[in-house]
Amino acid sequence: MTSLTFPPGFRWGASTSAYQIEGALDADGRGACVWDTYTAQGRIQDGSNAATACDHYHRFPEDIALMKAAGFDSYRFSIAWPRIVPAGTGAVEPRGLDFYDRLVDALLEAGITPMACLYHWDLPQPLEDAGGWQGRAVVGPFADYARIVAARLADRVKEWMMLNEPNVVAIHGYGTGEHAPGHQLGDTGILRALHHQNLAQGAALRAIAAEHSGLTLGTVLNLQPSVPDSDRPEDVAAAARWDAVWNRVSLDGVMRGQIPPLLAEAMADFVLPGDEEAIRYPIDLLGINYYSRMTMKHEEGHPFDVWWGEARCRRWTGMAWPVQPEGLYDLLTELRTDYANPAVFIAENGCAYDDVVADDGQIHDDERVLFFREHLEAVAQAAREGCNVKGYLCWSLLDNFEWAFGLSKRFGVVRVDYDTLARTPKDSYRFLSSVAKGGDK
Ligand code: GCO
């Protein structure tokens, strides 16, 4: 077995997002977001909602104590836009800012470095009503919100991520309709949502940089190698198309200011002169969310005439996602060789399984431990070969509201009992803790 050794100063921690854990959706003047609307439409598979979720809004001290006890030194959380600017534009809600102020102080007190993500999918509903990510009207409000939050917190929060997975927002929010706001606007709708997120990101990066120096600015992308299901030319072309949509619009947008050539024609209607400069930014740190490879084939009737092929792997997670740690190694290697080896960190990696609470009250989640071990080996190997990887944040600290799956899919290293809200660390928590503390090598 490869040893789990990492470069000096390698950072360890967890990621969460506001909507998935906070609850308290009506507290302290928070406005409505697209996920509130989508949930109220009855579109969550298990009929649950995020009204309470993990009640992190009130229980964050306990959650921070869990991270500290694990030996985690870093934590990525997201700030809920509708808590800060409830109507998307206009009045700022001071009680929303106060909450993140308390959270940040408590993290620092615990010796945990806060990393704030500005957008983990909770678009204020009034902005969606005005066109959402389909148009440019959202760009200015996002930059304003970024400036407001940074003005309050950047004296203590030094690491800022703009977006989380713009591809998933675009594809599922505006293409398949499986995520809020639940539109099915075809290929053009997906590309519009991607491009306008790129523009908003560029504007927010510049807005924050203009106000504060010495910050680490970046964004978080879900990057997953797209491989063809067969060597038939139409499958090879489908995988390349999917790579352009899923990975390259976002990655090449920020890193190179480039629209993928494969998509240039399809995007010509709404990419204006100057946009490529506006979306490019020399970020300091790139967060990567990795779950699996994507095996794709040509099939009409789906976005971009691409559909899932047969993933060749030995195991699947409880989401029926293939377990393919070698894809993470390939991805890190590609960033090193083809993108000038940027500073990166794993911002999410993890898995859902149908956890069982054993007679001893514990959760012996061996499959999740194995998942983490194999992916950490892939990261360690890439780092040994020179990849500039700075740290690893698991997804997720807590079981939480897994979007359209509701509370039915558990990704946490800490179990949440949704009746009592009791937290129980799983074996996977102890495993990551031992690696973070340097005891498991
Ligand atoms: C993501 C999402 C998370 C999900 C996780 C599992 O960024 O994809 O950030 O919110 O819960 O990926 O599906």
289 marked as binding residue: no
Report CA 335 to chain centroid distance, whole Å. 18
User: Could you give the CA distance from residue 263 to residue 427 in angstroms, rounded to a whole number?
Assistant: 45
Q: Is the CB of 402 under 6 A from ligand 1?
A: yes
Provide the residue type at 418 as one letter. Y
**CATH code: domain of residue 127:** 3.20.20.80
User: Could you give the CA distance from residue 378 to residue 383 in angstroms, rounded to a whole number?
Assistant: 9
Structure tokens at 229: 């299901």
Helices (H), 227-274: 233-243, 249-256, 264-267
Residue 4 lies in a domain: no
Shortest CA distance to 101 belongs to which of 144, 50, 151? Answer: 151
Phi-psi region of 115 (alpha: psi -120 to 50; beta: other; left: phi over 0): beta
**Phi, psi (5° rounding) for residue 424?**
-130, 115
In which domain, by residue range, is 233 found? 11-436
Provide the residue type at 201 as one letter. Q
**Positive or negative: CA dihedral 194, 204, 218, 347:** negative
56, 82, 202, 418, 419 from 422: Cα distances, Å: 11, 27, 40, 8, 8
pLDDT of residue 439: 74
| Helical pair 366-384 and 427-436, crossing angle rounded to 10 deg | 20
Residue 398 lies in a domain: yes
Q: Using an 8 Å Cβ cutoff, are 308 and 297 in contact?
A: yes
**Positive or negative: CA dihedral 202, 288, 65, 52:** positive
Q: Is the CB of 411 under 6 A from ligand 1?
A: yes
Q: Is the CB of 122 under 6 A from ligand 1?
A: no
pLDDT of residue 13: 98
Tens digits of pLDDT across the chain (441 residues): 457 999 999 999 999 999 999 999 999 999 999 999 999 999 999 999 999 999 999 999 999 999 999 999 999 999 999 999 999 999 999 999 999 999 999 999 999 999 999 999 999 999 999 999 999 999 999 999 999 999 999 999 999 999 999 999 999 999 999 999 999 999 999 999 999 999 999 999 999 999 999 999 999 999 999 999 999 999 999 999 999 999 999 999 999 999 999 999 999 999 999 999 999 999 999 999 999 999 999 999 999 999 999 998 989 999 999 999 999 999 999 999 999 999 999 999 999 999 999 999 999 999 999 999 999 999 999 999 999 999 999 999 999 999 999 999 999 999 999 999 999 999 999 999 999 999 765
Which residue shows structure tokens 């854990």?
A: 21
14 CA → ligand 1 middle, Å? 12
pLDDT of residue 312: 85
Residue 140 lies in a domain: yes
Residue 47 lies in a domain: yes
Q: Using an 8 Å Cβ cutoff, are 17 and 121 in contact?
A: yes
Residue 365 lies in a domain: yes
120 marked as binding residue: yes
**Phi, psi (5° rounding) for residue 288?**
-120, 125
Residue 209 lies in a domain: yes
**Positive or negative: CA dihedral 189, 190, 191, 196:** positive
7, 34, 180, 400 from 53: Cα distances, Å: 36, 17, 17, 6
Can you tell me the ipTM of this complex? 0.89
Establish whether 310 is a catalytic residue: no
Q: Using an 8 Å Cβ cutoff, are 51 and 23 in contact?
A: yes
Neighbour-count burial for 44-68, b at 16+ CB within 10 Å, e otherwise? beeebbbebbbbbbebbeebbebbb
Establish whether 348 is a catalytic residue: yes
User: Could you give the CA distance from residue 216 to residue 264 in angstroms, rounded to a whole number?
Assistant: 31
Residue 1 lies in a domain: no
26, 97, 162, 237, 426 from 392: Cα distances, Å: 33, 28, 18, 33, 18
274 CA → ligand 1 middle, Å? 32
Question: Number of structural domains, the chain?
Answer: 1
269 CA → ligand 1 middle, Å? 31
CB atoms within 10 A of CB 111: 11
Residue 259 lies in a domain: yes
